[in-house]
């Protein structure tokens, strides 16, 4: 039987000791789970290790941890797959939530609090039917993906927006919000969406980083659900928000349709004052002036040093811009939901300028569910 070493992050907030790593050697068959390894250690070697689990079958969501830096379920990962060449496996608590002890995080103060924030129950109107509600099968299929959530917190653990803004409602709770916004039995779709759009930590706070999509063991794809909430808010209910989230999104869509490359100055201006008329509107002068610190930060970091980045409208187009337009037309004609992601821009800036551009790449089109 091969030998493994579990390197576990230990921490007891009630002691005066800072967090530390503790290594444990153990023998286990490679197909056994990391949870099996932790249980074995606790039963045979060190009864003080704090961790949570229940079903051992990837159903209850209680064994969420980070293995080798990635959030996942301990019961759903085999030691043989997780060990590096020396047989070592690193296990630590999930991120973005306070540690109660060792591998146990305080889900009440973050995950469950945010879940409650989205009113996670149906709000029907009128008297209930005499028998059951009859719901079209396609509506149920539409929300099946969100229903699959097992509340493990893996997406919350790695959400980059939440790391910067702990008030962000977050991927799990917003995916849950879609579960009700997509359900025809619920009568508060508009109110729910308006509320999530008005909240500065709501649907427009997500930065499309994909971390929640990668982290989710049940393919809920929370980011896709957030995009669907946005689309519904804008297209079906024509909802506007005081945080310029909608105009920011529309500025992105328009600029990419026209150029295929990120004209950041134009996106910034159009987010606050779309079109010439809005730019001349006195009420938008102050919001536009407020974008200046962002621009200065962009210049300082090297992100916006070149002229095409600074002057709205002069940013270059993709060579085959017509291909992008064709994608837009196709999506519109077929009613398809498409997410466009710009994966890199080549030949802009140099290493000296500190840009993050690494290679000349075409925009990548990812079809969302
Ligand atoms: S895509 Fe959005 S919700 Fe998901 S992890 Fe990134 S910022 Fe958070
Ligand atoms: S959306 Fe996925 S990762 Fe997030 S809590 Fe639900 S099951 Fe876990
Ligand atoms: S123990 Fe239930 S999901 Fe891992």
- Could you give all domains of the chain from N- to C-terminal order, each with its CATH number? 3-105 (3.10.20.30), 108-236 (1.10.1060.10), 245-332 (no CATH)
Distance from C-alpha of 170 to C-alpha of 156, rounded to nearest angstrom: 6
Mutate to test the pocket of ligand 3, among 38, 57, 77, 153 (most ligand atoms within 8 A of CB): 57
Burial of 179 (0-12, 13-18, 19+ CB in 10 A): buried
Nearest CA to ligand 1 atom 1: 208
pLDDT digit of tens for each residue in the chain (369 aa)? 569 999 999 999 889 899 999 999 999 999 999 999 999 999 999 999 999 999 999 999 999 999 999 999 999 999 999 999 999 999 999 999 999 999 999 999 999 999 999 999 999 999 988 998 889 999 999 999 999 999 999 999 999 999 999 999 999 999 999 999 999 999 999 999 999 999 999 999 999 999 999 999 999 999 999 999 999 999 999 999 988 899 998 998 899 888 888 888 888 888 888 888 888 888 888 878 888 888 888 888 887 777 777 787 788 888 888 888 898 999 888 877 776 665 555 444 433 333 333 333 444 444 444
- Cα(225) to centroid of ligand 1, in Å? 11
**Taking the model in full, what pTM does it have?**
0.86
Residue 74 CA, closest ligand 3 atom number: 4
- Asked whether the CA dihedral 65, 71, 73, 76 is positive or negative, the reply is negative
Mutate to test the pocket of ligand 1, among 160, 203, 205 (most ligand atoms within 8 A of CB): 160
Nearest CA to ligand 2 atom 8: 152
**Residue 191 · residue 231 · CB < 8 Å:** no
Containing H/E element for 298?
A: helix 292-301
Q: In angstroms, how far is the first alpha carbon of the chain from the final one?
A: 43
Distance from C-alpha of 341 to C-alpha of 93, rounded to nearest angstrom: 31
**Residue 65 · residue 93 · CB < 8 Å:** yes
CA nearest neighbour of 248 among 226, 225, 266, 224: 266
């Amino acid at each position: 039987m091969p030998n493994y070493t579990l390197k576990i992050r230990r921490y007891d907030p009630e002691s005066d000791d800072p967090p530390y790593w503790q290594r444990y050697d153990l023998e286990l068959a490679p197909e056994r789970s990391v949870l099996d390894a932790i249980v074995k250690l606790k039963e045979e070697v060190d009864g003080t290790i704090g961790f949570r689990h229940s079903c051992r079958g990837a159903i209850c969501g209680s064994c969420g941890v980070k293995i080798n830096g990635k959030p996942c379920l301990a019961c759903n990962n085999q030691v043989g797959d997780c060990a590096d060449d020396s047989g070592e496996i690193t296990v630590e608590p999930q991120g973005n939530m306070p540690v109660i002890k060792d591998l146990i995080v305080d889900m009440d103060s973050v995950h469950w609090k945010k879940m409650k924030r989205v009113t996670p129950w149906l709000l029907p109107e009128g008297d209930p039917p005499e028998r059951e509600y009859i719901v079209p099968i396609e509506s149920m299929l539409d929300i099946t993906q969100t229903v699959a959530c097992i509340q493990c917190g893996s997406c919350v653990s790695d959400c980059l927006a939440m790391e910067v803004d702990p008030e962000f409602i977050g991927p799990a709770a917003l995916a849950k919000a879609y579960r009700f916004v997509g359900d025809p039995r619920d009568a508060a779709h508009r109110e729910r969406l308006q509320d999530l759009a008005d909240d500065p930590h709501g649907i427009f706070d997500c930065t499309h980083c994909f971390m929640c999509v990668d982290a989710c063991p049940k393919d809920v794809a929370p980011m896709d659900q957030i995009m669907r909430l946005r689309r519904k808010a804008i297209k079906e209910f024509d909802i506007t928000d005081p945080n310029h989230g909608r105009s920011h999104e529309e500025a992105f869509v328009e600029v990419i349709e026209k150029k295929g490359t990120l004209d950041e100055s134009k996106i910034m201006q159009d987010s606050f004052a779309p079109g010439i008329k809005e730019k001349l509107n006195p009420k938008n002068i102050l919001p536009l002036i407020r974008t200046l610190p962002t621009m200065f930060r962009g210049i300082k970091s090297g992100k916006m040093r070149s002229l095409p980045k600074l002057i709205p409208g002069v940013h270059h187009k993709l060579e085959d811009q017509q291909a992008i337009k064709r994608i837009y037309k196709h999506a519109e004609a077929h009613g398809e939901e498409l997410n466009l992601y710009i994966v890199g821009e080549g030949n802009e800036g140099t290493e000296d300028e500190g840009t993050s551009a690494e290679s000349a790449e075409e925009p990548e089109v990812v079809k969302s569910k």
